[in-house]
Amino acid sequence: MIAGLLVLTPLLGWVGALGFAPAVALAGLLTLPSVRVRSEDRALLLALFTALVWACASIFWSPWRAADLEGQTGLKLVFMLALYGSAVSAARAVPEVRLPGLVKLLAGMTALLAVLLLAEAATGAAAYKVLLTTLGETVRPDFAIKNVAQGLYVLTLLAPPALAAVSGRVRWGLALLLGVGIVVPALAFGYDAPFLALACAVLAAGMVLAFPVRAPRILAGLGAAAFLLAPAIAKGAFILGLDARLAPYLSESWLQRLGYWRKAVDWILARPLPGWGLDASRAFGPGIQLHPHDAALQVWMELGLIGAVAAAIVWASIFSGLSRPRRTPAAAAATATAAAYLAFGAVSFGVWQEWWLALGSLSALACILVLRARPIDV
């Protein structure tokens, strides 16, 4: 099942990242019997369960009311935690004899996605447009580029474990391909979030390679602080007028983000303890469109202090769990992926988007595989 999911990755990263949600959910459903809970996972699972219960309870005071079953975020979160969690757990149940083949497949499929994105960057997403035309669908050129560009998020998150899966000259060649596969399409499509995530990933990996014991613990503290202190940091920046000073140098999309963040901070301070309720940010337009485009601010705004503490524990558990007595490329890669996911979440996506949580689960699955396997030189 994991092999099938990895084979689908370049296709989904190219034609539709939304497809990760059903793909990872199906993988989780089929691997439910293999779920095992380790003692070291208890803090993380307790935080996730607490956040889930609080999120579902907050529906009762949220101003947002979904029009149909599809919009019932609380219900979907219950299934996502169970199924996505099962898919991640399945990576731990893979027999050791199968690990070399799976990590080789991970490296190959990630390289294929890089090649696809480079081809689309060179042609203006021509292959994607041809595919839609063949299927009898029409799409605006800018929407076609936007859809294909989502593959950059997939590639950036999977690049670190893919590199850790191989060694020797193969790693250097793959690093060149994946680096170019991120940078060139990001420039061609006009996306800057991948550069931010890539920088965070490289910095985090470098820290862990230099200080394998202490660096993950430091990053655990920083990750927790990013959620706990987000409203205070944002409010302080606005009081100091940093947004006004940066405005002349920012694009329209970044100016919109600053506007969303300012509104989000105001609403957080108006109700900091319980929050406004799950999906409440959807009800605060036009000041905020759909969500604040910052994971920490959205958690604070919707779930309040309890949600922020739970998120802080989750990220602290993830990073601290990567502390190792000696330097290992796999631990550095997993840390890099976690840092990149945090960076993307800080400027791009809504916390509860199914495909985004599914992609995070797939990334965690990939990292577990390389943490268990030995790098191969083929």
Q: Cα–Cα distance between 222 and 219 in angstroms, integer?
A: 5
pLDDT average, residue stretch 195-207: 97
- Of 5-9, 118-122, 142-146, 294-298, the least confident: 142-146
Write the Ramachandran bin of 296: left for phi over 0, alpha for psi from -120 to 50, otherwise beta: alpha
CA-based R_g, the chain, Å = 20
- Of 78-92, 140-154, 350-364, the least confident: 140-154
Q: Cα–Cα distance between 182 and 227 in angstroms, integer?
A: 27
Q: pLDDT tens, 105-124?
A: 999 999 999 999 999 999 98
Q: What is the predicted pLDDT for the residue at 288?
A: 81
Q: Cα–Cα distance between 186 and 259 in angstroms, integer?
A: 24
Q: What's the DSSP call for residue 89? A: H
Q: What is the predicted pLDDT for the residue at 378?
A: 41
Tally of CA atoms within 13 A in the half-sphere of 88 that contains its CB: 19
Cβ neighbourhood burial of 237 (10 Å; 0-12, 13-18, 19+): middle
Confidence of residue 376 (pLDDT cuts 50, 70, 90): low
Strands of the chain, DSSP E: none
Single pTM value for the model? 0.94
Q: What is the predicted pLDDT for the residue at 318?
A: 97
Q: What's the DSSP call for residue 44? A: H
Q: Cα–Cα distance between 147 and 12 in angstroms, integer?
A: 11
Q: Cα–Cα distance between 324 and 216 in angstroms, integer?
A: 9
DSSP letters of 112-174?
HHHHHHHHHHHHTSHHHHHHHHHTT----HHHHHHHHHTHHHHHHHHHHHHHHTB-HHHHHHH
pLDDT average, residue stretch 247-252: 86
DSSP letters of 52-87?
HHHHHHHGGG-S---SSGGG-HHHHHHHHHHHHHHH
Q: pLDDT tens, 297-335?
A: 999 999 999 999 999 999 999 999 999 999 999 999 999
Task: Give percent of the chain above pLDDT 70.
Answer: 99
Q: pLDDT tens, 273-298?
A: 999 999 999 888 787 888 899 999 99
Mean predicted lDDT score pLDDT of the chain: 92
